Amino acid sequence: MNLMKSTVGRFDKMYDEPQFPFASLTKVAADVDLLGATSSTGEQYIANNGIGSAFGHDIIQASTRVNYAQNLRYINGLLAMVCMATDGAEAVEDGNYQIFDHMLKAAKANVRLNTEVSHITKSHDGKYMLEHGSSTKLAHHGPPALAHHGNMAYDVVVIAAPYQFSNLTLDRHIKHVPAEIAYVQLHVTLLISPHLLSPAYFNMVPGKAAPKVILTTLQPNEEPLEGVAGVGSPGFFSISLLSPITNPSTHGVEYLYKIFSPSPLNSTFLAGILGLQGSYDAESAIGEKDISWIYRKVWNSYPYEVPRTTFEEIELDEGLYYTSAMDGFISTMETNALSGKNVARLLVDRWRGRMGDGSGKAGMSVPTLLQTDNTL
């Protein structure tokens, strides 16, 4: 798809000289000519570039719904193209976390996992003080927590979590506080069942197996709505059969499913997709012989990526960086990792005196606040 390749290609230029590293997302988006994509809805962007509405409705919208739980009329054009850029994805066996784990070990970093931070205060000399919360998770074991050392001063702090979910407070002397943006509240259901998906539920020809992955769009004349109400008549965004597994109790083959939806899935829906016989109302319990295991999670998965032309600040104050500035531009694990790469390069250039006053302080102390529970 040429439009996807050209749009993603412009994004890639952000990480090449002369744009990289960049101090402003808004400026670099303009420099690489991406504001036309970010300021349009996906529907407008593909129409302006000669892509038929049927392809957008049936293919691209199915992708925006499974990836961002948003319809093409409301998600911006850049994210609509990102949803179609699925080639070449790779993963590390046993978990991508190993990349960062090895990086920390190689750097011989002082890592304090599960150390809560509640406040970041800027002192008169420009250093940042990290204040611990009301409780500390590692009070009696593991690395010492901040509570055992008093407040700690740092030259540079990197906040690597969405500020609005971090339970952090920035003091009034800090120049910029990240603006709150709307996030999708996504319901994820994982379940294991001995039953394959019911072809009849999806109006398929009798005897024909249901697909392993089912994506949804809207009816041709159905009005797309904004927000989670935009799920429309299907009632869910996607269903995926992840893998067959062996039940250790029965030694029989069962199937692991993942379902994305805007609200909790009731027994009527689950019985329907699995083709269970009998009458199940919303509150009915489904026995273990039909669903042997189920896990439900609801979380703020990603922002509503609406059209916009300005983006969050990367440097909230001198020496205070924010990698989740990227979230309102593109929200993926990969692009947040690239945001970290950009901040790291800004720091290196700062230390070398290339972007500052020439003082270049090698060996500065730099904590990074990771995840949404304020862990260091």
Q: Which residues neighbour 337 within 8 Å (Cβ) at sequence distance 6 or greater? A: none
User: pLDDT band for position 139 (50/70/90)?
Assistant: very low
C-alpha 23/C-alpha 37 separation (Å) is 21
C-alpha 253/C-alpha 242 separation (Å) is 13
Taking CA 280 as the corner, what is the angle to CA 274 and CA 284, rounded to the nearest 5 degrees? 110
C-alpha 346/C-alpha 25 separation (Å) is 13
C-alpha 118/C-alpha 113 separation (Å) is 15
Whole-number percent of the chain with pLDDT over 90: 73
* Domain limits, the chain: 2-82, 99-179+309-370, 183-303
C-alpha 213/C-alpha 291 separation (Å) is 19
Q: Give the best-scoring range by mean pLDDT among 87-101, 137-151, 357-371.
A: 87-101
**Exposed, middle or buried by CB within 10 Å (0-12, 13-18, 19+), for 86?**
exposed
Q: Which residues of 184-198 are buried (b: 16+ CB within 10 A; e: fewer)?
A: bebbebebbbebbbe
C-alpha 69/C-alpha 121 separation (Å) is 37
Q: What is the pLDDT of residues 272-303, one digit of tens each?
A: 999 999 888 888 889 999 999 999 999 999 99
**What is the pLDDT, as a whole number, of residue 333?**
87
Whole-number percent of the chain with pLDDT over 70: 89
Q: What is the dihedral of CA 49, 54, 59, 64, to 10 degrees?
A: 70
The single-letter code of the amino acid at 67 is N
**What is the pLDDT, as a whole number, of residue 146?**
45
User: pLDDT band for position 230 (50/70/90)?
Assistant: confident
C-alpha 53/C-alpha 61 separation (Å) is 10
Query: What integer is the mean pLDDT of 201-223?
Result: 93
Of residues 143 and 84, the one with the higher pLDDT is: 84
Q: What is the pLDDT of residues 162-180, one digit of tens each?
A: 999 999 999 999 999 999 9
- The dihedrals phi and psi of 225, each to the nearest 5 degrees, come to -110, 155
Q: What is the pLDDT of residues 305-357, one digit of tens each?
A: 999 999 999 999 999 999 999 999 999 988 999 999 999 999 999 888 854 44
Range list of β-strands (E), the chain: 119-122, 128-131, 152-154, 157-160, 169-170, 183-193, 213-215, 238-246, 253-261, 293-303, 315-317, 320-322, 368-370
Query: What integer is the mean pLDDT of 188-211?
Result: 95
Asked whether the predicted pLDDT for residue 219 surpasses 50, the reply is yes
Of residues 107 and 313, the one with the higher pLDDT is: 313
Q: What is the pLDDT of residues 55-76, one digit of tens each?
A: 999 999 999 999 999 999 999 9
Q: What is the pLDDT of residues 233-257, one digit of tens each?
A: 999 999 999 999 999 999 999 999 9
**What is the pLDDT, as a whole number, of residue 154?**
92
Half-sphere exposure of 11 (CA within 13 A, CB side): 21
- Asked if residues 105 and 99 have their Cβ atoms less than 8 Å apart, the reply is no
DSSP one-letter code for 95? -
Sign of CA dihedral 280, 282, 286, 291: positive
Of residues 162 and 138, the one with the higher pLDDT is: 162
**What is the pLDDT, as a whole number, of residue 134?**
52
Q: Reduce the secondary structure of 173-226 to three states and give it as a string.
A: CCCCCCCCCCEEEEEEEEEEECCCCCCHHHCCCCCCCCCCEEECCCCCCCCCCC
Asked whether the predicted pLDDT for residue 80 surpasses 70, the reply is yes
Options 3.50.50, 3.90.1580, 3.40.50, 1.10.287; CATH of 99-179+309-370: 3.50.50
